[in-house]
Structure 1
Amino acid sequence: MAVLDYVLLLLAVLALLGVVFEELTHINKAKVTLFFGTLSWVLLFVFSDSPEQTAGVSHGLSESIAEIAGLWLFLVAAMTFVAYLNKKGMIENLIHLVLPRRLSERKLLLLTGLFCFVFSSLADNITATLVSCALILSLDLDLKKRIQFITLVVFAVNSGGVALITGDVTTLMIFLAGKVDILSLLTLSIPALLAVLVLALLLFRGLSGGVVLEPRVTPVRRVDGVIGLLFLLTIVATISGNVLFAIPPVLTFLFGLSVMFMVSRLLSDDSDRDPILEYVRAIEFETLLFFLGILLLVGMLKEIQALDSVVLVYQLLPPVFANYLMGIFSAVIDNVPLTAALLKSGIEMTPGEWLGLTYAVGVGGSLLVIGSAAGIVAMSKIPGLTFVAYLRYLLHLFMAYTLGYVAVVWMGQGFH
């Protein structure tokens, strides 16, 4: 291996350490990964030995940029919808309309888990976590019960996202790579929901009281209701359009976004004071920049053929066991670079085995509070939620994750 390859591997390790120790360095992980990702490709060009090698590096970069562009555009469209609906209070309205005013703590825990599961399938898990944290903080719960609630929230939002490309980035990445189809992904919702319900039952211990919810309903304008309906129609059209006509999901979502812009302009009476394009700026570009940096790094690792070690795990173990381990690894290593590395490594698996990997990397990060974006967000919002406090429920989380994975493997036997 050339000296440059070792230098590039070191940069990838430094980027990963920057992500893991973000809380200690206080340097945003998006900045770290973008710096090391772009620097890696610059070095590949600078130290290229021949015009042919430069052309190869240029081709590799073009492939990476094309993949990133498709992912980015889809996420921008989906996140703009969610940013708009969240700002207008429609998501919070939905919670207070669905939940009864008085209910037991156990029932509230179960309903919170179900809400997180469903909502994170349609929106992103960060928004679902933020909304759920606001609900938990509004209740008069002691610290132990609060940790029980947020543990289920983190697991449920990660579980809900695996069955739809709108819910989890790793699911979207595996779909865009052509490893699974939309209808097969939808079947993941059954074992994923089963795992959430099992975890809720395991967390029932110690919950015996009742709570009273104070309804906070924001008035909804006609234009907001229409855009909310349009968001649901866009998701349905994305699924049906891909199944029936092989329309790329990014195209359908961008079309839905364009209709959203037109609807807002035609139905809204305050377009000057609340321009719809402002909600594009409201989305979490830090998250998008993080994905950009990570995918550039993984593309570089593919370029220097450093992903062969990932394949080694699949040579030593059958895919069913290797995928299960990858889910556990995703609690320590961010699931986005892990998934990207697996996709770039050229692993050959059946559609059922790819479904198993989709569930594993999507849900496995829930095992540790630092293993997913939902957990990191919850730590920043819930006082008293620490790494150790969350770790107390590791056995519960491990049992639920394992049960869900076993159910996915059993269902996946029918996909060839």
Structure 2
Amino acid sequence: MHTLIICLSILALLLVIFEETIHINKAKSTLFLGCLCWLIFYIFPESGFSSEQISESLNENLLEIASLWLFLMSAMTFVAYLNSRGFISSIVQKALPSQVSEKALLIYLGLGSFVFSSLADNITATLVSVAVITQLKVPIKKQLKYAALVIFSVNSGGVSLITGDVTTLMIFLADKVTIVSLLQLIVPALAGVLSLAFLLSSNMSGHVTLHTNNKPIEFEDKIIGLIFLTTIAATLSLNVMFQVPPVLTFLFGLSIMFLCGHFLSLPESNENVLNYIRKIEFDTLLFFLGILLIVGALKKLHVLDHIALIYQHLPTSLANYLLGISSALVDNVPLTAAVLKANVTMRPDEWLSVTYAMGVGGSLLVIGSAAGIIAMSKIKGLSFISYLSMFLRLLIAYSVGYWLSVLIA
């Protein structure tokens, strides 16, 4: 059974890596294999594993997953509403000038993607930023530079706030970092983005004209947007002051959104406001569920303890740096979960460097993050090979941000 579950876990990883080749959604494959692992535990238990012990381990695994799921569901529902109403795209387009130099646009896109991905999910931040890129009348090589910066910035923006990236949230929920300590990553993450913008600015000397959106934002949407921002602020402050779990604050904010949707007499009925839950990316949530079930099964078998070996042979900072680079090939969610379950002993400042590495390392390859996959599907000419041509510049920017995070923390 031990060998079988390890083989199933490796198969799940391969199916995730080659999702674009085999055309099987990773949510389907990981959920199937994750549930199968635990079914095998129950039906063919190894000696020393009683059904009560297996149930206790499964319940512990499901409790961790539930906290992550409910938090993400709440945040994604807010974003689904604001995105469907055109609120987010209107804000972005109103913030951009109608005409700007190509180099200045690098800064605008980098900073905009960085800030937006801290507040919303990476998928929405990427879609909005890519929409700006696709309207640019510039050569494809320059579009690819903008796309690379957006992918890197979106992933960088999420590392300093638990609302910005799943891996950051996972590390926070495991009590490895605090909300206040995460704020220390803003400077190194921003330094990485600006470094990449500088490296990409060569041969960017022209000007571009941007499409402007004059559509007014509805009053009701402004209220919901304000509730969303207030919920984020309350989530951070209440956790710092009273140790309120973030999931509780976000669920409370979601309930206020639903009530306001009713009393503000939105064009849609209250029933439709509730239905925005159906617009969130459930395939993403199901993928997390499947992956975390697999990682929980591996933890039960103590397989993940072997990850700690890299920390026995290398300095912790170097080991974290290399794990971040490897997340470009292996999805950062299972890799982060594996590190958390491997019982690796690190100082709080070293967990901060892990947070940066896992969040940003996937940017080195276009297949290494959800932002890269989405951008590749939207921008003509963006492929694994074309993105690979910018690997060295991406690696330099990642290295700048990572080693600065080590120094600051």
- The TM tier, using the shorter chain, reads over 0.9
Deviations 1:316-347 (A, max 9, x none): 11211111011011001110000001101111
2:262 touches 2:270 (CA, 8 Å); kept in 1? no
Identity of aligned residues (%): 57
Contact 1:92 1:217 in 2 (8 A): no
Letter in 2 for 1:114: L
User: Contact 1:238–1:252 (CA<8 Å) still a contact in 2?
Assistant: yes
Partner residue in 2 for 1:119: 116
**Cα distance in 2 for residues equivalent to 1:401 and 1:268:** 47
Give the root-mean-square deviation of aligned CA atoms. Answer: 1.1
Q: Secondary structure at the match of 2:160?
A: coil
Q: Is residue 2:247 matched to residue 1:250? A: yes
1:95 is matched with 92
The 1:51–1:332 alpha-carbon spacing in structure 2 relative to 1, beyond 3 Å, is closer
Contact 1:90/1:218, CA 8 A, preserved across alignment:
no
Deviation at 1:50, TM superposition (A): 6.6
From 278, 285, 296, the counterpart of 1:299: 296
Q: Note closer, same or farther for the CA distance 1:232–1:273 as it changes in structure 2 (3 Å cut).
A: closer
CA distance in 1, matches of 2:270, 2:364: 44
The size of the alignment, in residue pairs, is 409
2:392 aligns with 395
Aligned counterparts of 1:51 and 1:12: Cα–Cα separation in 2: 22
Q: Is residue 166–residue 172 contact of structure 1 (8 Å, CA) maintained in 2?
A: yes
Q: Distance between the aligned counterparts of 2:268 and 2:376, measured in 1?
A: 37
Distance in structure 2 (CA, Å) of the matches to 1:372 and 1:273: 35
Structure 1 Cα separation of the partners of residues 97 and 307 of structure 2: 49
2:311 to 311, 314, 319: 314
Matched, 1:37 2:34: yes
The alpha-carbon deviation at position 218 of structure 1 amounts to 2.9
| Structure-2 separation of matches of 1:162 and 1:53 | 40
Equivalent pair of 2:151/2:371 in contact (CA under 8 Å): yes
One-letter code of the match for 1:214? H
Deviation at 1:96, TM superposition (A): 1.6
Alpha-carbon distance change, 8 to 91 in structure 1, aligned in 2, over 3 angstroms: same
Structure 1 residue 79 and structure 2 residue 76: aligned? Answer: yes
Letter in 1 for 2:166: V
Aligned partner of 1:151 in structure 2 is 148
**Partner amino acid, structure 2, of 1:403:** V
One-letter identity of the residue aligned with 1:25? I
Q: Structure 2 counterpart of 1:172, which letter?
A: L
CA contact (8 A) 2:160 2:184 kept: yes
* Conservation of the 8 A alpha-carbon contact between 2:304 and 2:342: yes
Is 1:89–1:218's contact at 8 Å kept on the other side of the alignment? no
Q: Which residue of 2 aligns with 1:64?
A: 61
1:212 to 2:215 alignment = no
Q: Which amino acid aligns with 2:336?
A: T
TM-score in terms of structure 2 length: 0.98
Q: Which residue of 2 aligns with 1:108?
A: 105
Work out whether residues 161 and 362 of structure 1, in 8 Å CA contact, stay in contact via their aligned partners in 2. Answer: yes
Return the alpha-carbon distance in structure 1 between the equivalents of residues 160 and 149 of structure 2: 18
Structure 2 distance, partners of 1:49, 1:95, is 56
Q: Which amino acid aligns with 2:373?
A: I
Question: Does the Cα contact within 8 Å between 2:167 and 2:336 map onto a contact in 1?
Answer: yes
Secondary structure of residue in 2 paired with 1:275: helix
User: How many Å separate the matches in 1 of 2:270 and 2:332?
Assistant: 40
Distance 2:347 2:155 in 1: 24
**For each residue in 1:20-61, what CA deviation from the matched residue of structure 2 results, as whole angstroms up to 9, or x when unmatched?**
111111110000000000000000100125795221111111
Alignment correspondent of 1:222: 219
Return the offset for 1:305: 1.1
Q: Which residue number in structure 2 is paired with residue 192 of structure 1?
A: 189
- Give the secondary structure class of the aligned counterpart of 1:237: helix
Q: Deviations over 1:109-164 (max 9, x none)?
A: 11001000000000011111111111111111111001000000000000000000
Alpha-carbon distance in structure 2 between the residues aligned to 1:411 and 1:342: 22
Match of 1:187, SS state, is helix
Q: TM-score, normalised by structure 1?
A: 0.97
Aligned to 1:325: 322
Q: Does 1:136 align with 2:133?
A: yes
Separation in 1, partners of 2:210, 2:341: 48
Q: Quick one: distance in 1 between partners of 2:250 and 2:129?
A: 26
- Structure 2: which 5+ residue stretches go unaligned? none
Q: Contact 2:258 / 2:270 at 8 angstroms: preserved in 1?
A: no
Deviations 1:290-331 (A, max 9, x none): 000000000000011111220111111121111101101100
- 1:231 and 2:222 aligned: no
Q: Spell out, residue by residue over 1:42-96, the C-alpha distance to the aligned partner (whole angstroms, 9 max, x if none).
A: 0010012579522111111101100000000000000000111111111111112
Partner in structure 1 of residue 374 of structure 2: 377
Deviations 1:276-299 (A, max 9, x none): 111100000000000000000000
Alignment partner, residue 174 of structure 1: 171
Distance in 2 of aligned mates of 1:355 and 1:49: 37
Q: 17, 22, 25: which is aligned to 2:19?
A: 22
What letter matches 2:229 in structure 1? L
Q: What SS does structure 1 have at the residue aligned with 2:164?
A: coil
Question: Per the alignment, do residues 269 and 389 of structure 1 end up closer, same or farther by CA in structure 2, a change over 3 Å counting?
Answer: closer
Q: Is the 8 A contact 1:129 1:377 kept in 2?
A: yes
What SS is found at the alignment partner of 2:273?
A: coil
Distance in 2 of aligned mates of 1:78 and 1:375 = 21
What is the alpha-carbon distance in structure 1 between the residues aligned to residue 150 and residue 218 of structure 2?
30
Structure 1 residue 213: deviation in Å?
1.3
Residue 217 of structure 1: how far off its partner (Å): 3.2
- Equivalent residues of 1:103, 1:212 under 8 A apart: yes
Contact kept, 8 Å, 1:188 with 1:359, in 2: the verdict is: yes
